[in-house]
Structure 1
Amino acid sequence: MTPAAFAIPGDPDRLTGGFLYERRLLSGLRVLGHDVAYLRLPSSFPDPDPADMDRAVAMLNAVQPARPLILDGLVSGAIDPAGLARVRAPVIAMVHHPLALESGLDAARRDHLHRTERANLALCRHVLVPSPHTRAILTQRYDVDPERITVARPGVDRTRLPRDPATPPLILSVGILHPRKGHDVLIAALSLLPDLDWQAVIVGNPWDSDHAADLHSVIAASPVAARIRLAGRVGADRLQRLYARAAIFALATRYEGYGIVFDEALLNGLPVVSCRTGAVPDTVPEEAGLLTPPDDPAAFAAALRALLSDQARHGRMAAAACRAGHALPGWSDTARIASAVIDRVAEAG
């Protein structure tokens, strides 16, 4: 099998969908027989200081030309294009979503990231993306030839716990504590449902500490604060128990390049309430989810109310979620798609 290299910044065990994807992809490629060298780049990406930028460029330039080099999107979207141009190995970018589409950026930062990522994508031999939506964004806004883009949808683990629904019904949200995930919108929506019986748990690594503190304050000020728990980071076993006990999966996201948590919700037979943004409409089947406009707590609350108040509808959507979950690909499928890309890039020289 073709040898390769995979460059990921910082701790690869961080609890985000993107890092989970890359851990599973690295493991899957090795299972298939690829000799994949793992490069741990500075954790400061996508905002490296000059020393970290120079160190990263040097590490990438040390990769031999015979090893196609997969670059995590935090690197491929932010590394100095002049430095990337000196890399001898053929580069495959792994773009979960373009960095310029992140929430909370000022205009200058957004423009810089767009120009940098666009220049770097022009230097890459190929691009791996998790969804057709991300492929469309790269072709329309970044001028990437669609022939150079391959969709490698995230896989799922088939193992799950038996259903054990909690009383009152548990609304589960999973996503890093970052403004893009819209947990503030979810809390505002829940505050509009004091008359219904429910409890809510928000699971997520405090990626943005200031935002995490803000969320605690928002919950404390809510009239339903006693029913909302901000659980922070939890272990895999605890998360599986929460999925098994939940009645609804809710994520009021402002943007998703894919959203692995939606697949986990479907696999566990949970109806989904989320937002019509990014790749969410492509990821959540219409019959298994209710999608609202982003940043609209009233609409989000109405969707939650519809599922909490109508058990027949909830049952139909839960059954549809189960069917969709059973049809999802496994991680071995994701690895095989990426493996074929590595081989093609190597053969092209």
Structure 2
Amino acid sequence: MRQAAFAIPGDITTLTGGYIYERRLLEGLRDLGRDVRHIALGASFPVPTPGHMAEAVEALAALPEERALILDGLVFGSIDTAGLARVRAPIVAMIHHPLALESGLDEALRDHLYRTERDNLALAAHVLVPSAHTADMLASRYGVDPSRITIARPGTDRPEGTPAPAAPPLILSVGIQHRRKGHDVLLHALAAITDLDWRAVIAGSRYDEGHAEELDRLHAELGLGDRVRLAGRVSAEALQTLYRSATVFALATRYEGYGIVFDEALAHGLPIVSCRTGAVPDTVPPDAGLLVPPEDPEALAAALRRVLTETDLRDTLARNAATAGAALPSWPDTARIAGRVLDALA
């Protein structure tokens, strides 16, 4: 089995989908008996400080050519191309979604990230992605040969405990407080259905403090009070309790390269209300959820109203979600796919 190194910026325990994926992949590869070093890089990527850029280039260039390098997409898509060309080890890019597709970028930064990621992809021996959507995006917009791309869908842990839906019904949303997750859209949608009996929890760290403060203000302006709790970061145990207590999962995302939380919702047999964007239509089975256009709180509110009030629809979506969730791959499955990519490198 080929030795490897996995270079990841910042705190590997960060509770976002990308970090969860990479931490579980690192652990899974090691559990399979592979020698995989963890290289911690500066947390400022994908807009690195000069110091973090220099440190990253030196650390990666020091790897021997017999040890493959799996490089996190935040770094891969933004590291200096000339510096990346110094790396002797074969590079496997781990791309969750292209950096230029992130929300809220100014055009100069968006163009810089697009060009950097496109040029760096020419240096990768192979590319790992979590979804067919991301694979198609890299092939069509970044010129990557599809034969150099492997889809390693995130694994899913089987839920523990018995579902115990709360009364009144709990609408659960899980995602960091970042504009791309669309929690502002969800708050507007919830404000449009206050005639119904429900409670809602939005769980996810205050990742972007400026946007988190905007959400606090919007929550107050809409008068949602105790009916909607912006819970921030919650423990793994508390999150599982929320999933077991929920009646519906809702995420008003503006874009997802995959979206691990959808698989978690499916595994818990929850009907899903989300947006028809990015990889969401490929991730959420059409018979397990209702998808609406992004940036459309009225359509989101209408979909939530249907799931909350139409019992037969809700039960059908829930059964189909549970069936799809039971068929999802495990984290060892994901690690085995990545391991085969490592062993096939020239």
TM-score after normalising by structure 2? 0.99
Counterpart position of 1:244: 244
Query: What is the match of residue 341 of structure 1?
Result: 341
1:223 is paired with a residue whose SS is coil
- Corresponding residue number in structure 1 for 2:150: 150
Following the alignment from structure 1 to structure 2, what is the Cα–Cα distance between the partners of residues 270 and 84? 43
Give the match for residue 223 of structure 2.
223
**SS of corresponding position for 2:21:** helix
State the SS of the aligned residue for 1:287: coil
Larger mean CA deviation between 223-232 and 173-182 belongs to: 223-232
Q: Indicate conservation of the 8 Å contact 1:154/1:334, yes or no.
A: yes
| Inter-partner Cα distance in structure 2 for 1:63 and 1:159 | 39
Cα offsets for 1:118-161 (capped at 9, x unmatched) = 00011000000000000000001100000000000000011322
Question: What is the rounded CA distance, in whole Å, between the counterparts of 1:223 and 1:159 in structure 2?
Answer: 34
What is the correspondence of 1:170-185 to structure 2 with a 5 Å cutoff? 170-185=170-185
2:18 paired residue number: 18
CA contact (8 A) 1:194 1:223 kept: no
Task: Please give the alpha-carbon distance, in whole angstroms, between the structure 1 residues aligned to 2:343 and 2:311.
Answer: 50
Which residue of 1 is the match for residue 82 of structure 2?
A: 82
Match of 2:96 in 1: 96
Contact 2:159 2:268 in 1 (8 A): no
Deviations 1:64-107 (A, max 9, x none): 10011000000000000000001110100000000000000111
Quote the Cα distance in structure 2 between the aligned partners of 1:197 and 1:51: 53
Provide the secondary structure at the position in 2 that maps to 1:108.
helix
Cα distance in 2 for residues equivalent to 1:39 and 1:104: 29
Gaps of 5+ in 2: none
Letter in 2 for 1:268: H
Verify: 1:202 aligned to 2:202, yes or no: yes
- Counterpart CA distance in 1 for 2:338 and 2:212 is 35
User: What is aligned with 1:277?
Assistant: 277
Once residues 295 and 225 of structure 1 are traced to their aligned partners in structure 2, the CA distance between those partners, rounded to angstroms, is 23
Match of 1:322 in 2: 322
Quote the Cα distance in structure 1 between the aligned partners of 2:51 and 2:217.
37
Q: Name the amino acid aligned to 1:42.
A: G
Aligned partners of 1:197, 1:159: CA distance in 2, in Å?
A: 27
Name the structure 2 match of 1:164. 164
Give the C-alpha shift of residue 223 in structure 1.
3.3
Q: Equivalent residue of 2:122, what SS?
A: helix
CA distance in 2 between counterparts of 1:210 and 1:264 reads: 28
Aligned partner of 1:30: which letter?
A: R
Deviation at 1:222, TM superposition (A): 0.9
Give the counterpart letter for 1:214 in structure 2.
E
State the identity as a percent: 63
Aligned residue identity for 1:117: E
CA distance, structure 1, for counterparts of residue 25 and residue 137 of structure 2: 23
The answer to whether the 8 A contact 1:103-1:180 is kept is: yes
**Who is 2:232 aligned against?**
232
Match of 2:212, as an amino acid?
Answer: A
Q: Contact 1:160/1:268 (CA < 8 Å) preserved in 2?
A: no
TM value normalised by structure 1: 0.98
User: How do 1:254-273 and structure 2 match up within 5 A?
Assistant: 254-273=254-273
Query: Secondary structure at the residue paired with 1:113?
Result: helix
* Corresponding pairs, count: 346
* Matches of 1:38 and 1:327, distance apart in 2: 30
| 1:8 matched residue in structure 2 | 8
Cα deviation for residue 2 of structure 1 reads 1.1
RMSD: 0.6
1:290 is paired with a residue whose SS is: strand
